[in-house]
Amino acid sequence: MSGTAVTGGNSRLLSETLAAAGAEDRAALIAYLPAGFPTVDGGIEAIKAVLDGGADVVEVGLPHSDPVLDGPVIQTADDIALRGGVRIADVMRTVREAFEASGKPILVMTYWNPIDRYGVERFTAELAEAGGAGCILPDLPVQESALWREHADKHGLATVFVVAPSSQDARLAQITEAGSGFVYAASLMGVTGTRESVGTQAQNLVERTRATGSGLPVCVGLGVSDAAQAAEVAGFADGVIVGSAFVKRMLDAPDEAAGLEAVRALAGDLARGVRRKV
């Protein structure tokens, strides 16, 4: 969809995309890849390949030197990107080019410190201008998020908070009331990484989150690595989030071209998985 006009934040596009997947009686496929990995240009091409392969939404990671939520695979990719000199300007360029090429919702996933240092107004304005749909903020406490949400709302950006199996019901209600776009449900305690089994905690967390009555879609991440797991999660969640499996395909590839083909193929496999719910 080259040449797509960029007029501001695309939170509405995100909501419409998730609703359209629901109308097709399937979960949305949400992919994660960090900006600047393996290079800025290579990262953009990888995201385009994942979108071309069948992802409905992409989360662009803003590499961080101390990624407390991320497991060793994503930490390795972040380290490669940081050593390559990736900057927030490169993240914005990645969002812009991915959106212009696909017309699909592109979010940024980032820890709070880089935004705080960069400036909330500057960050939200630039993300909206790049056509971004919103931001996932895993370490921003909802009770400290008013400034962010004020600027995000002004620029048409969704604010996605993360909930975990340890989140109490009152906390879930507070988060779903403040959030927008969707709720990111971390299916397991601990850091990101592929798992052999999704487990039952995820389904319980989705049910508890939906019980708050917010109506926000609930998308599950942390652990899905193949079509069978994607189908399992799609049976109870509105979206299936996959990150480490894509990053690992890029890390394991002998060269960039092979990596791009690998992530495109994985996206296609996962896209078929979310369409055959179990």
Phi-psi region of 224 (alpha: psi -120 to 50; beta: other; left: phi over 0): beta
Calculate helix-pair angle for 244-252, 72-83, nearest 10 degrees: 60
- The residue from 45, 59, 126, 232 that is catalytic is 59
97 counts as catalytic: no
Structure tokens at 117: 């240092």
Residue with structure tokens 């996962």? 270
52 counts as catalytic: no
Asked if residue 43 lies in contact with residue 37, where contact means CB atoms within 8 angstroms, the answer is yes
Alpha carbons within 13 angstroms on the beta-carbon side of residue 253 total: 22
- The residue from 41, 52, 66, 70 that is catalytic is 70
Distance of alpha carbon 249 from alpha carbon 253, whole angstroms? 6
Catalytic residue positions?
Answer: 59, 70
